[in-house]
Amino acid sequence: MQVLIVGGLGGQIGAASKIAMARGASVQLAESVTTALNILRAGKRIDLVMADIALDVGALITALSTERISVPVVACGVGNDINGAVNAIKAGAQEYIPLPPEAALIAAIFEAVTEESHALIHRDPRMTETLRLAEQVARSNASILITGESGTGKEILSRFIHRKSNRADKPFVAVNCAAIPDNLLESELFGHEKGAFTGAQARRIGKFEEADGGTLLLDEISEMDVRLQAKLLRVIQEREIDRLGGSKPVKVDVRILATSNRDLESYVQQGNFREDLYFRLNVVNLDIPSLRERPGDIPVLAEFFVRKYSEANDMPIRPISPLAIDRLISHYWRGNVRELENTMHRAVLIAGPDEIGPEAIMLTGGAPAGAQSQPAPAQQPAAPTTAPANGSDPRDIARSNAAAAAYNPTYVNQAYRNSGAASSGYGQPAPHPYDAARPAEQPAAHTPAAPADDAAHTSHHAPDGSGVSSVETADHGVISDNGSITAALVGRTVADVERELIIDTLKHCFGNRTHAANILGISIRTLRNKLRQYTDEGVDIPLPGNG
């Protein structure tokens, strides 16, 4: 941990430094706010600033905010200087340390600052597969493009990749391209020399130099101006930057991670994103499923947030009732994990003393048009005696994911046969981990098993007596007597045929999205968009591991 001490700390600087170094920190000293700012502008890694309240702490914090230098600041002063402490906290200091310093207090603050706030919690097989691929490519120097809806955890996955990489002991620097105006983003990335433009009062090291040797995250890169995209492309190719107002290039060694919640392929086609930059960034694409696509993660994430906010609010940790879990799994989660976190924070505050029940799960923001979320379990009618083995209810998907995790071809093939040749079922799902606490349900009915001879053909004759006939193959493809598939498709819409082709290809690949996309000749992103559309229309989609 790198600590910058600003000022003399009322003569206690030696004691504070010794305590910090005893806690494993490396200490650097700055006599004034100006000196501290110059150190931070130079791009030197600083994890914590300890500032003497005898100095203008407010000016320091304002300057850090103006120059978008993100580092926590704690104020230090003599123990009875109440006004100074209050003013420092009002100015934006995160904590106040009375002097002379206490080792236990400084240790607690160091622990809070260095606490890992980017935990990656998961249980769903789809997320497990995403993390497996992420860990596999983490040790390379390849650029990685991370895509997914807002709130799915793209930055958290980026930090996971950095921790698993060969650069884990080097800086991880994140830049939000959507939050910085275009006229400032270039200076933010590449830095500037003194006098390069109006207001450039000193040399400023950019994020590329700050991340030298480590990882640079370009968050929401699709929001970057096209002109700046061209300069970024050159930096990635040449591994060197030009500071604004600089006279010579500066070599940098940076691993690039980029995120986007847009379909970048479509953005490229629309002329809003450079195709050559897209290919440079998209060496590996990690697409994070939305929370509704990985319902197995919902219970474990909910429990994690309950623990987190119970401790933060000094409240007892209460269990989540099975009915509350059902209510969570049934929700559409347009805001993904971010929305779930807010929901559980609210539930912790308003739940009863014994458990977090469904009445504490106050949900907002339903499904968009055409994508209806499930009603709360407590309001659902009794389950029919003949329910499909795998319907659109997210609870069914959560149960099926347990089977997908233990996928083997024998299981899938048998489940497919049990579902019937023309059935949309994908086999009997494994029990949900919370089923033990639920009332018993009627078993899902199965259609009779398909004939043992998988190569059997079924003849179909046109009802109008035209004499045109067709046969249905084991793969359910329909071919007319004259050998043309298209002749048998006349009268159907292109959308219907496309949907059937995609679903059948997915079944053929046992639910593997990547293989199916390769066979269909489309991108994995396009395939996921199609599957979301079909899910919204009530179509059963094969889960990974199911055919």
pLDDT tens-digit profile of 152-172? 999 999 999 998 999 988 889
> Looking at the predicted structure, is the pLDDT value of residue 26 above 60?
yes
pLDDT of residue 511: 81
More confident residue, 155 or 415: 155
Please give the pLDDT value at position 337: 93
CB pairs under 8 A, 24+ apart, for 99-106? 99/9, 99/10, 99/12, 99/16, 100/12, 100/15, 101/9, 101/12, 101/15, 101/16, 101/19, 101/76, 103/19, 103/22, 106/16, 106/19, 106/20, 106/23
Distance CA 492, CA 287 (A): 33
CA distance 343 to 362: 7
Cα–Cα dist 313/320, whole Å: 17
Residue whose tokens read 């990974």: 544
Q: Which of 10-19, 69-78, 378-387 has the lowest mean pLDDT?
A: 378-387
Q: Which residues contact 392 (CB under 8 A, 6 or more apart)?
A: 535, 538, 540
Question: In whole angstroms, what is the distance from residue 371 CA to residue 359 CA?
Answer: 24
Give the pLDDT of residue 297.
94
Q: Would you call 330 helix, strand, or coil by DSSP?
A: helix
Q: In this structure, are residues 57 and 6 in contact, taking their beta carbons and an 8 Å threshold?
A: no
Query: What is d(CA 316, CA 309) in angstroms, rounded to the nearest whole number?
Result: 10
How many C-beta atoms lie closer than 10 Å to residue 349's C-beta?
12
Most confidently predicted of 73-87, 223-237, 421-435, 444-458: 223-237
104 burial (CB, 10 Å; 0-12 / 13-18 / 19+) is: exposed
Segment 96-122, tens digit of pLDDT: 888 887 787 777 777 666 554 566 788
Whole-number pLDDT of residue 84: 80
Which pLDDT value is given to residue 146?
A: 96
Query: What is the token pair recorded at 103?
Result: 């080792």
Q: Are 122 and 135 in contact (CB under 8 A)?
A: no
Q: What is the mean pLDDT of residues 310-320?
A: 90
Alpha carbons 388 and 444: distance in angstroms, whole number: 6
Band the pLDDT of 195: cuts 50, 70, 90: confident
Tell me which residue of 96, 41, 89 sits closest to 63, measured CA to CA.
Answer: 41
- Note the pLDDT of residue 158: 95
Residue-level pLDDT at 78: 76
pLDDT at 526: 85
Give all domains of the chain, ordered by start, each with its CATH number. 2-114 (3.40.50.2300), 125-287 (3.40.50.300), 293-360 (1.10.8.60), 490-537 (1.10.10.60)
303, 355 Cβ separation under 8 angstroms = no
3-class state of residue 435 by DSSP: helix
Distance CA 133, CA 403 (A): 21
Q: What percent of the chain is predicted at pLDDT more than 90?
A: 33
Return the higher-pLDDT residue of 174 and 543.
174
- Average pLDDT taken over every residue of the chain: 76
Answer for the pair 72, 92: CB distance below 8 angstroms, yes or no: no
In tens, the pLDDT along 452-477 reads 444 344 444 444 444 444 444 433 44
Binning pLDDT at 50, 70 and 90, where does residue 23 land? confident
- 3-state DSSP of 28-89: EEECCHHHHHHHHHCCCCCCEEEEECCCCHHHHHHHHHHCCCCCCEEEEEECCCHHHHHHHH
**SS3 string of 337-393?**
HHHHHHHHHHHHHHCCCCCECHHHCCCCCCCCCCCCCCCCHHHCCCCCCCCCCCCCC
Two structure tokens written together for 50: 């300890």
Task: Return the pLDDT at 444.
Answer: 42
pLDDT value for 224: 92
- Give the C-alpha separation, 227 to 189, whole Å: 14
Per-residue pLDDT of 340-370, as tens digits, reads 999 999 999 999 999 999 999 999 766 776 6
Q: What pLDDT is recorded for position 114?
A: 55
CA 359 from centre of chain: 28
Res. 381: pLDDT tops 80? no
Quick check: 345 and 309 in contact, CB under 8 A? yes
Q: Is residue 418 pLDDT above 70, yes or no?
A: no
Q: Which of 150-159, 226-235, 530-539 has the lowest mean pLDDT?
A: 530-539
